[in-house]
Amino acid sequence: MSEFSLILVTVGTLTSDNQKYSGASYINYSYAIEDNFMIGLEAAYERITKDNFVGKTKIAEQTDNALSIGASARYSYISNPKFRMYSGLAAGYITVQAKSEPVKGSGYKAEKGNTGQFGYHLTGFGFRYGKKAAIVAELGFGYKGILNVGFNYRF
């Protein structure tokens, strides 16, 4: 089945406001190919809520659940047993499940949908401090956000 639509007149423009982000949570498994080069797999999750408007009228509340799965590579500039400083790149697939609930009396119907796209994350600067158990912090851009702080365990 195929469809084609040509929209000639639009009554209002859909906008959104009051966006709230949970912040990305992620898990990563890495394997050292060399002492200063690691490859791995990771998954990240983030929840986004927002209000949808047509003109100045609120019509719905929307929730998006985003899941990212990707392969990663990391190069360490400093690599010793207790401290690592690195940069990295991850790329993979992001799937977003969206659900829109209409505001009572708005006349709009509930909607659900899924979408998928290519995703990436660039870690410009990261460090790991600790021997077996460690603290990690990263500064970057992409599906994991801008600043990440967490824990790491080496086995």
> Where do the structural domains in the chain lie, given as residue ranges?
14-153
Q: CA-CA distance, 5 to 2, in Å (whole number)?
A: 10
Fold annotation for 14-153: Porin (2.40.160)
Q: Among candidates 139, 102, 103, which has minimal Cα distance to 122?
A: 139
pLDDT digits (tens, 9 = 90+) for 52-70: 888 888 888 999 999 999 9
Predicted confidence (pLDDT) at residue 90 exceeds the cutoff of 60: yes
Q: CA-CA distance, 60 to 99, in Å (whole number)?
A: 10
What mean pLDDT value characterizes the chain?
88
